[in-house]
Amino acid sequence: MNSHTRKLLTIVTEAVLESVLIRDIELLGAHGYTVSDVRGKGSRGVRSSSWDSSSNIRVEVLCDEKTAAAIAAHLQAHYYADYAMILFINDVAVLRPEKF
């Protein structure tokens, strides 16, 4: 089994951003993404209702280092100031590096 290292970028943010975020991510070169519904708390308070405008999503993007850096920079510039959002990156091993 040949494995290669790629970046897994995870974003937790407001559900209302789902469609714009996905558009941005794809424009910045990601080949895919995975979204799930989550709840939580951070500096902008509790976000955990059955209610779209105060619930969160987690978006995960598996990509190469450059794309991860570009997405992170873009999100930091455009969304950090106004939206509940956190972002973190870690290394993962994948089998088909050309895919990501």
Ligand X SMILES: Nc1ncnc2c1ncn2[C@@H]1O[C@H](COP(=O)(O)O)[C@@H](O)[C@H]1O
- What is the binding site for another protein (CB under 8 A)? 14, 16-17, 19-20, 37, 45-46, 49-55, 79, 81-83
Q: Which of 72, 73, 74, 68 is nearest to 8 (CA)?
A: 68
Cβ atoms of residues 44 and 86 within 8 Å: no
85 in contact with ligand X (CB under 6 A): yes
Rounded CA gap, 27 and 36, in Å? 21
Compute the least distance from the CB of residue 43 to ligand X, in Å: 4
Which of ligand X, another protein, a copy of itself, none binds 85 (CB below 5-8 Å, type-dependent)? ligand X
